[in-house]
Amino acid sequence: MTQVNHQFRLAARPVGMPKRTDWSYVEEPLRQPGTDEVLVKTLYLSLDPAMRGWMNEGKSYIAPVEIGAVMRAGGVGKVIASGHPGFKEGDEVYGTLGIQEYAVVPGKTLTKVDSKLAPLPVYLGTLGMPGMTAYFGLLEVGKPKAGDTVVVSGAAGAVGTVVGQIARIKGCRVVGIAGGQEKCDYVVRELGFDAAIDYKSQDVKKALREHCPEGINVYFDNVGGDILDAALARLARGARIVICGAISQYNATSAVKGPSNYMSLLVNRASMTGMVVFDYADRYAEAMREMAGWLAAGKLKTREDIVTGIETFPETLLKLFKGENLGKLVLKVT
């Protein structure tokens, strides 16, 4: 009997928040891998804010997903069959598998992972792309020094939780900004942040004045918009702003809201630098070793928010934009 592969393919370029009808949920017969290809059964898929950008046309740091193509996504899975000498049946792998139950991909695009060292979903979060983003964005671009005040927005999410914890490991004071009391309590009580600001119920500018009396040395920005402006208003001299993301703007139907307080960069001799994690790909192994060590030593905690059922993909993705995820949002395929 022919095995069937269920997939989400991009059907339309969304305007504003994506809708279910922006994808088509289809099935196609499974094909066997050719030379140097590997057939992977997808177990967990990474749902990322960046997916919203990949659905748009136009120049970016990566090509858009074409209309009709399987929706791009990172995932972890098990090798079912291999035409590549480096992989065999049963191997656990990470790769760009797409929103589908099975993927046939070139073996050279896969990385082996090991569920004995960490549960598979962790390879999509702290030991995966978001963790690498936090590590290189903070350490290479933010350049924190012990005693610095580090502020991170999107603090209870996949990237933010790791940024705050690494900053603590490096001896910094850490202030998180997140939506809602539960998330603020989580980053302070569970992750050891020094303080958290609930941007949904507090005046962020005022709260930053209280929590950062000497100013902000490093601001790691995941959200953009008004929160970036509030942080700009509180910079210390020589501050570094890491532009990692701007999720508050991803579904905007009018022009993206840029910072109006940018003259603060001049006054404070500060810098604002964009970063893309893929630029550090040749150093992921180095970061993974160090992060795995922190995990094993209990210095770094990881949390995944796992939703089951590939068929829920369009609605589950929206949790990111509604702030309904705590920790790394992962889709368990079956």
Instruction: Considering only the stretches 69-77, 98-106, 244-252, 295-303, report the one whose residues sit in contact with ligand NAP under the rule CB under 6 A.
Output: 244-252
Q: Is 229 in the site for ligand NAP (CB under 6 A)?
A: no
- Closest CB to ligand NAP among 107 and 160? 160
Euclidean distance between CA atoms 254 and 241, whole angstroms: 25
Q: Is 321 in the site for ligand NAP (CB under 6 A)?
A: yes
List alpha helices for the chain, DSSP H: 50-54, 129-136, 158-169, 181-185, 204-211, 225-232, 263-267, 284-296, 313-322
User: Minimum distance between the CB of residue 20 and ligand NAP, rounded to whole angstroms?
Assistant: 20
User: Minimum distance between the CB of residue 246 and ligand NAP, rounded to whole angstroms?
Assistant: 6
- The conformation of residue 11, written as its DSSP 8-state character, comes to -
- Closest CB to ligand NAP among 77 and 157? 157
Q: Is 264 in the site for ligand NAP (CB under 6 A)?
A: no
Interface pick for ligand NAP out of 325, 330, 331, 333 (rule CB under 6 A): 325
Q: Which of residues 17-56 bind ligand NAP (CB under 6 A)?
A: 48-50
Residues 38 and 83: beta-carbon distance below 8 Å? yes
Angle at CA of residue 77, ends 244 and 156, nearest 5° = 30
Instruction: Considering only the stretches 94-102, 153-161, 208-216, 290-298, report the one whose residues sit in contact with ligand NAP under the rule CB under 6 A.
Output: 153-161
Interface pick for ligand NAP out of 170, 287, 323, 332 (rule CB under 6 A): 323
- Closest CB to ligand NAP among 33 and 125? 125
Q: Is 72 in the site for ligand NAP (CB under 6 A)?
A: no
Interface pick for ligand NAP out of 65, 196, 270, 277 (rule CB under 6 A): 277
The residue among 160, 326, 44, 280 whose CA lies nearest residue 288 is 280
User: Minimum distance between the CB of residue 130 and ligand NAP, rounded to whole angstroms?
Assistant: 5
Angle at CA of residue 273, ends 62 and 72, nearest 5° = 20
Euclidean distance between CA atoms 29 and 329, whole angstroms: 29
Q: How many angstroms separate the Cα of 130 from the Cα of each of 16, 82, 267, 270, 323?
A: 24, 28, 32, 25, 17
Q: How many angstroms separate the Cα of 317 from the Cα of each of 22, 177, 184, 287, 314?
A: 12, 22, 22, 27, 5
Chain CA centroid to CA 2, Å: 36
Interface pick for ligand NAP out of 72, 183, 211, 234 (rule CB under 6 A): 183
Q: Is 100 in the site for ligand NAP (CB under 6 A)?
A: no
Chain positions contacting ligand NAP, by CB under 6 A: 48-50, 129-130, 133, 154, 156-160, 178-180, 183, 222-223, 244-248, 275-277, 320-321, 323, 325, 329
